[in-house]
Chain A
Amino acid sequence: MTDRRTPPEGSGPLPMTMQRLQELFDAYGARSDRWPLSELAGALTLLRDSAEARQRRDEAARLDAVLDRAVTRAPSPGLLDRVLATASGVRPPIARTAPCRHPNDHRTPSDGPLYVHPPRQAARRWRSVAAAASFAAAAAAVALWLAGPSGTPHDTGTPAAVAVLGTYSTPTDTLLETENLSVVDSLPAFGCSDGEWGCPELDLAQEHSTTGMRRRIHV
């Protein structure tokens, strides 16, 4: 094994004591290829120099030998084919269904399920399509506006008609006054007239201006 515990950077081999050697036997057993690399040299030196260390190693080796006699099971003959059959039915997930990760999330596969890249390329592609579609729609709207009937929506007729009919510029009450008619008397009688039910009690006699009346009614 190559990935045993390594000593801190800049430090030398860790000192080996009988107690620590026993801890190695207790945890990893008697085989030196299972011990942390950083402690291997010290452990081997102690083993060479100490009969007690060798005796303890032999005790650990006996347990190793018994553990090695545990039942082992090889895969069934058909398992490989079943596993490969699952490969044919599995498709990689669609990129946009993959979970996005926070930009500061730097977990690696060793921290859990495989690293999942956010679908950045797909998002960029969709943003480009959306921008192009927006531009095309705006251009079409301008073209329709330019190709439509000339003139503004406020035009009420041709110049000839305006010359005949004239342009309205005098308030209605002023026009009525020239015929001795009151604008109040000409109001239609509709809606609520009972103040008890919350209808506004309008003193329309006091109001003669069109704009003023409109203001009161809308209060």
Chain B
Amino acid sequence: MGAPGTSETPVSDDTLVARVGAGDALACRELAERHLGRIVSFAYRMLGNHADAEDVAQEVFVRLWTHAARWHPGGARLTTWLHRVALNLCHDRWARVRERPMEAAANLPDPRPSPAMMLHERDIARHVSAALESLPERQRAAIALCHYQGLGNIEAAGVMEISVEALESLLARGRRGLRARLAAIAPHLLGER
């Protein structure tokens, strides 16, 4: 335990971004170590593919390095900005998938539970992920931001550029849809018969 008054306060994101803008490689490393895991996790929730999620995360940080010199301290939180950029990149990928409907249909999970799925509880995690992927994009984004990323409702609404009320609506519809899908797979987990 250090002496009183000598404990180090974590350097703020704003300070680190300013240092990145000045070419500080150590600040780049600290920011990446601080946020990379969360952004990968968020992109994975959105895309359902680990390789794509890492591509998105890498692009998010390329944009951070590029724009760091113009970062406006005291404005939006860096976490908000990172999630917004990640969400926009995910939107771009969805748009490309929509342009290839046959391929997209092949990649989307089948939301209908099979008898085998109902029998194997060990696959719950995979089923939950599949259920998330089957949600409409905006509902999925709302749940990913609030439930999995732990963002507050105001910050999550800011990332999605919607009102808090609209966010609540997306969350409620998303959770209702998930409950319906998961109840068909593992009703006992939800207290249903």
Contacts and interface: CB of A to CB of B under 8 A. Distances in A.
A83 B57 contact: yes
A29 B40 contact: no
Contact of B75 (A27, A73, A115): A115
Contacts of B58: 79, 82-83, 86
Interface stretch (B62-70, B90-98, B100-108, B109-117): B62-70
A166 interface: no
A117 interface: yes
A3 interface: yes
Interface in B34-74: 36-37, 40-41, 44-45, 50, 53-54, 57-58, 61-62, 65-72
A2 B28 contact: no
Nearest to B24: A87
Given A80-B36, A86-B58, A87-B28, A66 B182 contact: yes
A14 interface: no
B75 A108 contact: yes
Contact of A116 (B41, B53, B70, B191): B70
A108 B124 contact: no
B190 interface: yes
B125 A79 contact: no
B70 A114 contact: yes
A23 B165 CA distance: 11
Nearest to A6: B154
A76 interface: yes
A80 B32 contact: yes
A20 B66 CA distance: 44
A87 B65 contact: yes
A63 interface: yes
Contacts of A73: 40-41, 44, 50, 53
B25 A69 contact: no
5 contacts: A70-B125, A75-B36, A83-B61, A84-B28, A108-B75
Given A63-B190, A64-B147, A67-B128, 19 more contacts: A2-B152, A3-B152, A26-B175, A27-B167, A27-B175, A28-B153, A59-B191, A73-B44, A74-B40, A79-B40, A80-B33, A80-B36, A83-B57, A84-B25, A86-B62, A87-B20, A87-B61, A110-B76, A115-B75
Interface of A: 1-5, 23, 26-29, 34, 36, 58-59, 62-67, 69-76, 79-80, 82-84, 86-88, 90, 92-93, 98, 108-110, 112-117
Interface of B: 20-21, 25, 28-29, 32-33, 36-37, 40-41, 44-45, 50, 53-54, 57-58, 61-62, 65-72, 75-76, 80-81, 84, 124-126, 128-129, 132, 143, 146-148, 150-155, 158, 164, 167-169, 171-172, 175-176, 178-179, 182, 186, 189-191
